[in-house]
Chains A and B, each alone.
Chain A
Amino acid sequence: MATTSIALTETPDIRAILALADDALILGHRTGEWTGHAPTLEEELALANIALDLIGQARALYQAAGARTGHSEDELAYLRDPPAFRNALINELPNGDFAFTIARLFFVSVAADQCWRGGFDDPAINDIARMASKETAYHIRHAAEWLIRLGDGTEESHRRARDAVDALWPYTGEIANPRAPWLAAIAPVLARATLRNPTDGWMQSGGRDGRHTEHLGHLLAEMQILPRTFPGATW
């Protein structure tokens, strides 16, 4: 019944675009999972806005990748299996508690901001980066303000924020390249949040090569079931 997955011939160019697109899609999907579960109505809308920003970025990038591969954005999102996804592992981790969601959004957004501002050879990707960097700047602002308040908040919020930073740290090696500017950008926020900067140890990797955690398969199963079961369905 399920539609057959597409097979891509990936040049380094296509692979690089898919890495950006998959990062945005997977984090957008995770962030969207908060809809209906956020702690307040205001935060519900904030997270939904951010999720939609990320999915919008993914769409633009898939269209750019599609121009090179001949596949539509829907085929790229819905008809690839986990090993074909190029997102960093940090994006596919389950949301955890609110502190984990916020700390991840902060770490990933700071890395994305530095990536967007790095410039791209392809003018089409540069245009997407210019649009995305404004959105990313707001994501950083929102996540940083929350992280500061959670870290420097109650006993419980501090503990949860600290645990989130510690748990996420081994996954930041894959997104923060080069590392020094990323560390420099997050340090002032961690300091204001009264959170310690973990020391770099062994880092998780493999997402860019399609070696994912068990969580991505579950995420994709939910995301892809409808278009795979009813090809071409519209609503």
Chain B
Amino acid sequence: MGRETKFRLMSMLWEVFVRARNGLSHRHAGSVHAEDPEMALQAARDVYTRRGEGLSIWVVPSAAIVASDPIDKDSLFEPTGSKIYRHPTFYEVPPEVGNM
């Protein structure tokens, strides 16, 4: 009996990434609820760029994000703790270089 409709008006969650200036990368700003990509982009603009914060916005369905499991924290991240040679702290920087 119902009409054939294109929109279901059921909100999904979207993650918002905003690039503040040319040369910077997009940074996670937060999330919005919206029905579809176009409305998500508008909601992101209205919620996260009200004070001139943005030059570019990405919105991504929150469900599309693949996250690491907190249980894997030890195996993923702890081994790097003992590998101080991965930090570039063993170079002699000539004084003429100044602050890097």
Instruction: List residues of A whose CB falls within 8 A of some B CB.
Output: 40-43, 45-46, 49, 141-142, 145-146, 148-150, 152-155, 157-158, 194
Given contacts A42-B33, A42-B34, A45-B47, contact A153 B42 (CB under 8 A): no
A42/B7 in contact, CB under 8 A: no
How many contacts A-B (CB < 8 Å)? Answer: 48
B contact face: mostly helix, strand, loop, or mixed: loop
Given A42-B32, A145-B39, are A152 and B46 also a contact pair (CB < 8 Å)?
Answer: no
* B6: A residues at CB distance < 8 A: 152
**Chain A residues, Cβ within 8 Å of B3:** 155, 158, 194
Closest 7 pairs (CB-CB, A-B): A42-B43, A46-B46, A149-B7, A153-B7, A45-B46, A153-B9, A152-B6
**Which residues of B line the A interface, CB within 8 A?**
2-3, 5-9, 11, 32-36, 38-39, 42-43, 46-47, 50
CB of A49 within 8 A of CB of B33, answer: no
A152 near B47 with CB under 8 A, answer no
Beyond A42-B33, A152-B7, A155-B3, is A141–B42 a contact (Cβ under 8 Å)? yes
Q: For residue A153, which residues in chain B have a CB less than 8 angstroms away from its CB?
A: 5, 7-9
- Report if A145-B2 is in contact (Cβ < 8 Å); known contacts: A152-B7, A157-B9: no
The CA-CA distance from A40 to B33 in the complex, in Å, is: 8
Q: Which residue of A lies closest to B1 (CB)?
A: A155
Minimum CB–CB distance for B8 against chain A, Å? 7
A42 to B50, CA, bound (A): 12
Known A-B contacts A40-B11, A40-B33, A145-B38; A46 and B43 likewise in contact (beta carbons under 8 Å)? yes
Closest residue of chain A to B50 (Cβ to Cβ) is A49
Instruction: A146-B39, A152-B6, A155-B2 are known; give 8 further A-B pairs, CB within 8 A.
Output: A42-B47, A148-B7, A149-B9, A149-B35, A149-B36, A152-B7, A153-B9, A158-B3
Q: CA separation between A194 and B8, bound complex, in Å?
A: 14
Q: How far is B9's CA from A149's CA once the two chains are assembled, in angstroms?
A: 7
Chain A residues, CB < 8 A from B11: 40
Complexed CA–CA distance, A155 and B2 (Å): 7
Whether A45 lies near B50 (C-beta < 8 A) is yes
B36 proximity list for chain A (CB < 8 A):
149
A154 lies within 8 A of B34 (CB): no
Using Cβ atoms and an 8 Å threshold, which residues of chain A touch B2? 155
The docked-state distance in angstroms from the alpha carbon of A42 to that of B48 is: 10
